[in-house]
Structure 1
Amino acid sequence: MLFTIGLIINPVAGLGGRVALKGSDGVGTVEQALALGAIPRAEARTEVALRKLLPLKGQIRFLSWRDDMGGALLKRMGFVNHLLGNSDHKQTSPEDTEAAVVAMEQAGVDLILFAGGDGTARNICNRVSDAQPVLGIPSGVKIHSGVYAVTPSAAGQVVAMLIRGELVGLREQDVRDIDESAFREGRVRAKHYGDLLVPEEGRYVQQVKQAGREVEALVVQDIADYFRDEIMEDDVLYLVGPGSTTQGVMDVLGLENTLLGVDLICNATLIASDMSEQSILEHIKDKPVKLLVTAIGGQGHLFGRGNQQLSPDVIRMVGRENILVLATKTKIRELDGRPLLLDTGDTELDQALCGTMTVLTGYNDRILYPVTTL
C-alpha cells in the first residue's frame, strides 16, 4: 500500500529574508523583494527534505497543485505524482494553498507536507480538518509556529519514519503569525490562529517560539557590559544580529537598534542599520569583522530563523571563529538539553559550524554548548 503525501510549496516563502524585508506576505512585498534581487529558495529547501525519501520512492504517491508549488520538483526527482489542479494566474496566492489543501484532503492523503512560513501555515490552518496530519518544511522568514521540523532535512527524516511504519506520535501544535508591518518597525505582535495535527518526534520538530523580551534584564545588561568593557576591539566591524540580548549591547553603547534586523557598528559608532545580505557583503569585504548572534528562545536556532540576511556567504566571510554567541543561562536552560540549531540552507556550512561554541552568559561568564544540524 502506498503512503500518500500532499505536497504544497509556497514558491515565494522566505523571499524577503535576505533583502531585509522581514517577510514575504503580500504581492507588493514579493515584487519588492524580486526587484531587490531576492532568489526563491523554498523549492530548494523542499528538495533537501525529499532527498531523504528517495530510498523509499517505491512506497510513496504524491499529490500536488501547480507545477511551481511542487509538481515540477516531484517530476524532476522521479517521484510518482498526480497533479490535482492548476491556476491561470502567474503568481501563486494564498487561495492556491487553500484550494490545494481542500483537494488533497478530499483525495485522502496520509500527510500534507508543506514548505513555507507562518503565513503558509495560517492558510493551511484555515481549511484543513482537525484530523489531518500536516508537517512544515521551514522556508519562511517568520517561523513562530510549532508545526515545522527544525530543518528541511529533519522534515524528510520524520516523513521517512512515518512511511517505514515507525511509532511517531501526533500532537496538536500552535499556528502563530505576526503583523509584518509592525515587525518591520521593530514591534512583535504575535497571535495564535489555531492548531494543526503534527507528527511529533522529539528533536526533529521545533518548539513554539517564545515571544517577548528577556525577563532577565540585569543579566542581559551584564552580557552587554562585558562585551563593551572586555571584548569590543578598536577598528573591528561588528555585525549585530536580531534579538533582545543583542539589543542589550546596542543599548549599552547608546546606539539605535533594529531589534529584528542586522546592524553594523565600529568603534562604538553605528555604521549601517537594518541591512540586507548584499549590503552586509559590501560593507565587510576585506575588513576585520565579527558577528554577534543570539539563539531564539525556546527553539535554539542560531541561523535560519528571522536572520536570513546572515546568509551562508556572509557567515563564511565572517568565519566561525569570529561568531560571538550571546544568551542568558535561562534561555539555554529552556532548551532542556537540546543543542543550538543551524539551518543556513547550506549543508556544507552547517556541518562546518557543528561542534561546540562558547556562549557568553554574563559578565566574564561563559559556557560551552553544542551546536548541530539535523
Structure 2
Amino acid sequence: MTQIDTQHPSDANHNPLFKLGIVVNPFAGIGGALALKGSDGAEIREKALAMGAEKKANEKMAKALSILEALSGQFTVVTAAGDMGASVCDSLGIPFEVIYFPKATQTEGEDSEAAAKAMVEANVDLLLFAGGDGTARNICSVVGTQVPVLGVPAGCKIHSGVYCVSPSAAGQVVSQMIAGELVSEMDAEVRDIDENAFREGKVIAKHYGEMRVPAELTYVQAVKMGGKEDEALVLDDIAAYVSELMDDEPDTYFVMGSGSTVGAVMEFLGLENTLLGVDVVRQGELVASDVTAPDLLTLTKDKPTKVIVTVIGGQGHILGRGNQQLSPEFIRQIGKQNMLVVATKQKLQALQGKPLRLDTSDAALDAELAGAFTVITGYKDKVLCNAR
C-alpha cells in the first residue's frame, strides 16, 4: 500500500505542494448497461449488482489520474477509504492520505457528501470526483463554491456542466493546474433528472446549484489583438466588471488595495486613488482615503466588506507588499471568500507558473489562505491561480 501519513508535504523551496482531493462514487453508472435508467437509490444498486453489473467508476478515475504520472512529486492526494478513492490511488502507485472512512461497503450519497466535506476542511486546491448527476448534486450540496471541483464522467446521466468530456480530458485539466499553468474558471450548473419520470419516458431536469469548475484555457481566444493583450483595454475590461460587482452589492464596503491595476478600477469609477495606499468605496462614493490598519478595522467592523487586491508584477505577492494596511485581523474579519484578486493574464504569465504569494506576517493565516484563488483577468473572464 502506498498510503502516506502527512499533513502538507513541501517541495524543495518549502512551498506546500498542490493538494488534490479525490472522491469516487463506486456505484455510479452501474444501472446504465442494464437499462435501469440510472443508479440512484439502494434498491436500484442492489438490483443492478444482482444482475451482474460491473462497477466502472474507479476504472474511469484511473484514466484521469494516469495522466498525472509525469507530475509525480508535484502534488499530494487526500481521499476516502476503499473504493471511494484509496483503491484507485493504490493501484496506480499514487501516495495518498485517507481522511474519510465510509461506514459500509455499499456507499450512499451521504458518503459522497461527508467525503466532500472532509476535502473542503482539508483545504484542497481541487476536488476531483467521479460519478454522475446524482453525485454532482451530493457534492454541490456540501461544497457549493468553496473550492474548485471537476467531475470525471462515470454515471448513467451527465446533464451537469461540471464534468469534463472524458476521463482523460479531466486528467489534462488537472495536470495543467498542478503545473501552474493558467486555467480559466467558470461557474458550471449542476442539473439532475427525475429518474422515476425518466423510466416512464419523461425527461425532467432540474437545476440544483452551481460550482466553480476549471476549464482548459485557450489563450488566443481569451484576449484581443491576435493573442496579445492590449493592457489598457484589458484594464478597462477588469474595471468594468468590478464596477458591475459593486453595483450588485450597494451596501458592501469595497476596500481598494494599492497598485496600478486597482488604480485603474478607481479611475474607471471616477474616484481619487491613493496609488500606494488603501481606499474604501461604497455605493460608488469614496468613503475613506489612505486608511491605516486600525482605521480599516473600525470602519468595516460588522459591515459587509470585500477587498480588491492585485498581483505584484514579477513577484506574485497579493498580500504583504505595499498593502500592509490589510492586517491579519482585517483579513480574518472578512474571510478569504471576500477577497477579489485582479490582474492581467500577461502579469500572471510573467510569473512562469510560480504561485501567488501570501505574506501577511501571520504564518497561520497564510496557511489558511493558501490554495486556489479566483483572479479576475477581464470582463467576466477569470482564471484559477494557486497562492502559497
Aligned mates of 1:88, 1:118 — CA distance in 2: 23
Which ranges of structure 1 fall in alignment gaps of 5 or more residues? 204-374
Runs of 4+ in 1 over 3 A off after TM superposition: none
Aligned match for 1:37, one of 41, 52, 73 = 52
1:144 and 1:43 mapped to 2: Cα distance? 20
Match of 2:158 among 143, 154, 176: 143
Residue 202 of structure 1: how far off its partner (Å):
6.2
- Contact 2:182/2:217 (8 A) holds in 1: no
Q: Show the counterpart of 2:145.
A: 130
Alignment partner of 1:14 is 2:14: no
Aligned residue identity for 2:147: Q
What whole-Å deviation, never above 9, does each CA across 1:135-178 have from its counterpart, x for those lacking one? 00000011000000000000000000111111111111000000
Note the residue ranges of structure 2 that are not aligned, 5 or more in a row: 1-15, 219-388
Match of 2:111 in 1: 96
Alignment of 1:304-319 (within 5 A): none
Q: Which residue in 1 is equivalent to 2:4?
A: none
TM-score by length of 2: 0.51
Aligned length: 203
The answer to whether structure 1 residue 23 and structure 2 residue 38 are counterparts is yes
Tell me if structure 1 keeps the 8 A contact 2:186–2:214: yes
Residue 175 of structure 1 contacts residue 194 of structure 1 at CA under 8 Å; is this kept in 2? yes
* Aligned equivalent of 1:86: 101
Q: Does 1:57 align with 2:72?
A: yes
Per-residue CA deviations over 1:93-128 (Å, capped at 9, x if unaligned) read: 111111111111111100000000000000000000
Residue 74 of structure 1 corresponds to which residue in structure 2? 89
Contact 1:60 1:80 in 2 (8 A): no
Aligned to 2:286: none
1:118 aligns with 2:118: no
Contact 2:25 2:135 in 1 (8 A): yes
What amino acid sits opposite 1:78 in the alignment? G
Give, in angstroms, the shift of residue 85 of structure 1.
Answer: 2.0
TM-score between the two structures when normalised by the length of structure 1? 0.53
Alignment of 1:1-374 (within 5 A): 1-201=16-216
Report the Cα offset of residue 130 of structure 1: 1.4
Shift of 1:83: 0.3
User: Structure 2 vs 1, CA of residues 145 and 129 (structure 1 numbering), >3 Å: closer, same or farther?
Assistant: closer
The answer to whether the Cα contact below 8 Å between 2:132 and 2:155 also exists between their aligned partners in 1 is: yes
Residue number in structure 2 paired with 1:209: none
> What secondary structure sits across from 1:141 in the alignment?
coil
Distance in 1, matches of 2:36 and 2:48, equals 7
Separation in structure 2 between the aligned mates of residue 73 and residue 42 of structure 1, nearest angstrom: 10
Of the two, which has the highest radius of gyration?
2
For 1:83 and 1:198, how far apart are their aligned partners in 2? 24
Deviation, 1:60, is 1.3
Give the whole-Å Cα distance in 1 for the aligned partners of 2:217 and 2:28: 25
The aligned amino acid for 2:56 is R
The amino acid that maps onto 1:150 is V
Once the two structures are TM-superposed, the CA of residue 129 in structure 1 deviates from its matched residue by: 3.8
| 1:37 counterpart letter in structure 2 | G
Secondary structure, counterpart of 1:63 in structure 2: strand
Distance 1:186 1:119 in 2: 19
What secondary structure is seen at the aligned counterpart in 1 of 2:117?
Answer: helix
How many Å separate the matches in 2 of 1:119 and 1:44? 19
Please report the RMSD computed on the Cα atoms of aligned residues, expressed in angstroms. Answer: 1.2
> Is residue 144–residue 210 contact of structure 2 (8 Å, CA) maintained in 1?
no
CA separation in 2, counterparts of 1:120 and 1:157?
A: 22
Task: Give the partner amino acid of 2:135.
Answer: T
- Aligned residue for 1:343? none
- Other structure's SS at 2:55 match: coil
For 1:31 and 1:39, how far apart are their aligned partners in 2?
A: 12
